[in-house]
Structure 1
Amino acid sequence: MFRLFLALNFLLLNLFACKGGYESCKLKITDSKSIKYQTLQIPVLKNKRLLFSSHLPNAKIIKYDPFLSLYLVEDRTKFEHPFKINNHLSLGVASVNNKRAIEGKIVKDQIGLNNFATFNEPLATPALLLNSCCALEGIVTPQGIIQKEYLERFLKSKSAQYGDIGIRVDDIKKSITITRVNPFIKDNPFQEGDTIVDFAGKKVKDSATLMRKILFSKVGSTHSVKIKRDSKYFTFKVKTQKRYGGGYISDTFLEQKGIYFSKNLTILKIANEFEGYGLKVGDRLMQVNGVKVSIIADIREHISDFKYFASLLFEREHFQFFVNIKGKVKSNK
C-alpha cells in the first residue's frame, strides 16, 4: 500500500513537472533535429545520438545493432537536453514527431526480434514513443515499435550480441507456446507446441518477458527450462547460444548456417563455406523441403521438416537447382 502511495505521488509530481505535455515534446524533437531524412537521430547521452536508420550514417559510429538497425554515434551538435529512457510508471504514451502527437497505448508488447510492439492507433514513421515528460518509451519503425527495454540494453551493452536457445514463441490461449524450433542447434530438446512453464526456476508471465530473458542472457550461460508437452512436464538444461537472425535481419534459422535472405527470398549474404554448394548472392529460394515459400515466415515454418538434411530449391536466371543442407538434429515432428 505504501509503495502504491509513493508511486501515485511520483506520478502527480511528474505530471506537474511535465505540464507542457506532448506539445513541448514536438518542440524538443524539432529543436534537437531528432527526425531527419526519414531517420531517427535522437540525442540520448552526453554528446551521443541513438540512430534508427536503414543506411550507414555519415557520423562516427560507436556501436551498431544490425538486428534492430540501431546506431550509437557521436553528436557534434552537443544537444544540451537529451532524451532519457523512462524507467518509471507512466499514465500514457504518444507517438510523436515534429508535426503531431498521437496518443494511445501499446496493445501487444514486443516479442523478441521477430514481433515488434503494436499500437492501438495507426502511426506514421519514423516517430518517438514518449510519455508526457518526453521520456522515451520506444521508437516507431516500419516494422513496428521497438520498446524501451531494447533501446536501454543497446545503450548500456558493449556489443549488440543476443542469446538464443533455439525457439520462437507466442502467447496462445494464455500460454507461452513454442511456435518454431531451430533444427540447426545441436541437441535441441524442444518441440513445436510445447508450452513454457518457467525459465531459470521462475515463472514468466508472457512471451515478451521470456524472449527478453533469453535474448539478454549471456552466450554460454546455462538455464533450466520447464515445459509442458501434452499432459507431461519436462525440465531441460539448455545453453544460450549466439542469435543469428531476427528484426531487420532475416530469421529463417539458415542464418546460423551463413545464409541471409531479402524479403523476396533472394540471398543477400552467404558464408564462404557454401561456395562448394554453388550458391551465389541473388539466388532466389523457391521451395523448402518440397513446399513452396514466398515469405520469410514460410521458411521458418517448413525448415525443420526433415530427417537428415534440409532440401532447398533455388532459382537463378530461370534455372532451378536443389541444395541439401545437413542439420544437427533430427526433426521433432
Structure 2
Amino acid sequence: MLRALLALGFLFLNIYACEGGYNSCINKVKHSNTIQNQTIQIPITKHTRLVFSQTRPHGKILKHDPYLSLYIVKDKKGFKYPFKINMRYPSGLAAVNKRTAYEGRIKKRQIGLNQLATFNYRVKAPAILTNSCCSLEGIITPRGIIEKSYIKRFINNSDIRYSDIGIRVKDTHKCVKVTSYDPFMKNNPFKKGDCILSMDGRSVKYSSSLMQRILFSKVGSTHNVKVRRNGKIINIKVRSQKRLSGGYKVETYLEKYGITFDKNLYIIKIEKSKDHYGLLLGDQLLQVNRNDVKKQEDVMKYMSDFKFHATLLFQRNGNFQFFINMD
C-alpha cells in the first residue's frame, strides 16, 4: 500500500514537471478541475483557488476584484499541486485548457483595465496561459488575457483598489497619447491629445506600462508627469484618486455621480447619496455632447469634449427623450 502511494506521488510529480511539456499542463488543468463551464478556478494554495467568473462563485469568498472579475475562494477539497506564478521572462507560452495546448505569444500587452492583452491568434476562452513548466502566465477570458502582474498583485495585496489620475491613453507612432480624460475629476490638469513623456522621473514608452504604474500606485499618492502639449513641455503635479470603474465594470466617467450603466448604456444602479440629476433606473444614454453613443468606448471618446458642461441625451421608457447638463 505504501509503495502504491509513493508511486502515485511520483506520478503526479512527473506529470507536472517541466520535462512533460504542455501535455503535463493539460493533465494538471484536467486533474485540478481548473476549467469549470465558463469559469476558471485555479488552485493557488492547497486550499484556495483563484477564480475568474462573471457571476458570483460558490464557496467562501476571501477577496474580490470587481474590475477584472477575479475572486479568491476557499477550496474545501484541496489540490496538492497548486499553480505558481512565473514572474520571470518565459521561454515559451501556450494557451491551455483540459484538452489542448496551443503555443504562441502575447501580441498586444494589457493596457490597464479597459484593454486586456491578446494572443497572436484567436484562442477560445476560458483557458489559462502557462509556460512549459505549467507556471501561470495569464488568464484567458472572453475579453482577452489578464496578465500575470495583475493576478499577482490581486493575490498578494490586501488593498485591492486601483489608482486613477484621470486619463486613458493609447500608443501612437509618436508617443503615448491621452485619448480621453475624466472631465469630472476636480482640477484635472490633462487635456485630450497630451503626449505623456515621463512619470515620476521615469520615461514613458508604452501605454501598457504607464497604466500599470498608475493603477498599482497608492491611492492618494502624488505624481509628477511631464507632457508635451501643442509643442510645449509642461510639468504636471497630480494626486491619484480611487479608480471607480473599468474592466468588467462599464466605464463612462459618470460613476462619480453614483450612476452605473450596463454594456448597452442603461442605468442599472444609482447611489442615493449622490446628486444624479433626476435620472432613474432604466434610463438609457443616447448622446454625449451631440454625438450618438452605443457603447462605453463611445462615451469615453466624447465625454471630454466640452467647455462648461457635458450635454447628455437620455431616453426613458422607450420613447421619452430628455437632455441634462452635467459639470
TM-score, reference length from structure 2: 0.92
> Residue in 2 aligned with 1:310?
310
- Letter of the 2:218 partner, please give it: K
Q: Indicate if the aligned counterparts of 2:258 and 2:276 stay in contact, CA closer than 8 A.
A: no
1:108 counterpart residue number: 108
- Which residue does 1:321 correspond to in 2? 322
Corresponding residue number in structure 1 for 2:283: 283
Q: Deviations over 1:270-310 (max 9, x none)?
A: 22145763312211111112211111111111112222222
- Secondary structure of the equivalent of 1:41? strand
Structure 2 counterpart of 1:72: 72
Count the aligned residue pairs: 311
Q: Does 1:89 align with 2:86?
A: no
Structure 1 pair 319–118 and aligned structure 2 pair: CA distance change class (3 A): same
Query: Per-residue deviation at 1:20?
Result: 0.5
CA–CA separation in structure 1 for the residues paired with 2:276 and 2:35? 45
Q: Separation in 2 of the partners of 1:250 and 1:225? A: 27
Partner of 1:147: 147
Contact 1:165 1:240 (C-alpha < 8 Å) held by counterparts = yes
Q: Which secondary structure does the structure 2 equivalent of 1:19 belong to?
A: helix
Q: How many angstroms does 1:79 deviate by?
A: 0.5
The question of whether the paired residues in 2 share the 8 Å contact of 1:177 and 1:193 is answered with yes
Supply the distance in 2 between the matched residues of 1:174 and 1:34 (Cα, whole angstroms). 42
User: What's the C-alpha RMSD, in Å, of the aligned pairs?
Assistant: 1.5
* 1:189-208 pair list within 5 angstroms: 189-208=189-208
CA distance in 1, matches of 2:273, 2:321: 21
Q: Offset at 1:168? A: 0.4
Post-superposition shift, 1:312? 1.3
Contact 1:263 1:296 in 2 (8 A): yes
* Rounded Cα–Cα distance in structure 1 between residues aligned with 2:109 and 2:55: 26
Deviating more after overlay: 115-124 vs 262-271 = 262-271
Q: Which residue of 1 aligns with 2:230?
A: 230
Gaps of 5+ in 2: 1-16
Distance in 2, matches of 1:277 and 1:199, equals 36
Q: CA deviation at 1:159?
A: 2.9
SS at match of 1:272: coil
AA of the residue aligned to 1:319: F
Counterpart residue type for residue 85 of structure 1: I
Q: Cα deviations across residues 79-122 of structure 1 (Å, max 9, x unaligned)?
A: 11100111122111111000111111001100000110011111
Which structure 2 residues correspond to residues 39-78 of structure 1 after superposition, within 5 A? 39-78=39-78
Contact 2:42-2:83 within 8 A present in 1 as well: yes
After superposition, the C-alpha distances for 1:1-30 in whole angstroms (9 at most, x for unaligned) are xxxxxxxxxxxxxxxx51111111011001
Show the 5 A alignment for 1:169-188. Answer: 169-188=169-188
Pair 1:276–1:113, CA change in 2 (3 A): closer
Residue identity matched to 2:124: A
Q: CA deviation at 1:45?
A: 2.3
Q: Name the residue aligned to 1:249.
A: 249
Q: In the alignment, residue 236 of structure 2 is paired with which amino acid?
A: F
Q: How many angstroms does 1:321 deviate by?
A: 1.6
Corresponding residue of 2:5: none
Q: Find the counterpart in structure 2 of residue 127 from structure 1.
A: 127
Distance between the aligned counterparts of 2:276 and 2:312, measured in 1?
Answer: 15
Structure 2 counterpart of 1:147, one-letter code: E
Amino acid at match of 2:212: R
Identity across matched positions, percent: 52
Cα distance in 2, alignment partners of residues 39 and 281 from structure 1: 29
CA distances 1:218-239 after superposition (whole Å, capped 9, x unpaired) = 0111010011112211111110
Given the superposition, is the C-alpha separation of residues 276 and 116 from structure 1 closer, same or farther in structure 2, using an over 3 Å criterion? closer
C-alpha contact (below 8 Å) 2:259/2:276 kept by paired residues = no
Q: Residues of 1 paired with 2:209 and 2:20: CA distance? A: 33
SS in 2 for 1:23: helix
- Kept in 2, the 8 Å contact 1:63–1:159? The answer is no
In the alignment, the residues of structure 2 paired with residue 292 and residue 55 of structure 1 have an alpha-carbon distance, to the nearest angstrom, of: 30
